[in-house]
Chains A and B, each alone.
Chain A
């Protein structure tokens, strides 16, 4: 079955810097890759997603890139703000079932 690896497990950045989180997946048939943000004590919230027919997608300060050949995708957050502090999860899917990465705890220091 699908396996998703996520790195790093923790990431600390200064406010205004960029943050990059990387995921790799094992099943080349996976075709949908969402990213979720989970604040402490709250539900995971979808922040951006990408499908396998697209190489890059951007939404304001957030972007996701996908390399199908290498089977990896990345989340890029620019101009980080303290409110970006949370745990971020990547996931991969091919048939509605989401397989999640292990999560990255992002801390943005003012």
Chain B
């Protein structure tokens, strides 16, 4: 099975700054996704990262705040822009090789001061 990793694993950032999270899968996958998991909460889909085109964002999430790149079939980045304390959360990427089964990365724990 594919291995999925994320960098950084955690970070503490100042409000107003931006952080880019990287997600790497060790083999080509069709779909990649980005989720947010606020403390003690469930997972909320931010967007689907499409290879070679713009990401597809869910209601409540916009490209200016969460720009996403997907330059190839194994890699994606999520940027959290102009951060505020409300952005403190765990950000998870996942991939779907086929038939909708998703596997998650280890997550990036973000604290915004």
A-to-B contact residues, CB < 8 Å = 1, 32, 34, 36, 42-46, 49, 89, 93, 96-103
Contacts and interface: CB of A to CB of B under 8 A. Distances in A.
A34 B102 contact: yes
Contacts of A49: 101
A43 B101 contact: no
A93 B96 CA distance: 12
Interface stretch (B13-21, B40-48, B62-70, B73-81): B40-48
A36 B94 CA distance: 13
B48 A44 contact: no
A93 B100 CA distance: 8
Interface of B: 31, 33, 41-45, 48, 58-59, 92, 96, 99-107
A100 B101 contact: no
A99 B45 contact: yes
B104 A103 contact: no
A96 B96 contact: yes
A7 to B, nearest CB: 13
B19 to A, nearest CB: 19
B45 A96 contact: no
A37 B33 CA distance: 18
A34 B101 contact: yes
A45 B101 CA distance: 11
Q: Which 9 residue pairs spanning A and B have beta carbons closest together?
A: A43-B104, A32-B100, A100-B42, A100-B43, A44-B104, A102-B42, A43-B106, A103-B42, A93-B100
A6 B58 CA distance: 21
B48 A101 contact: no
B102 A98 contact: yes
A1 B103 CA distance: 23
Contacts of B41: 102-103
B1 to A, nearest CB: 10
B105 A97 contact: no
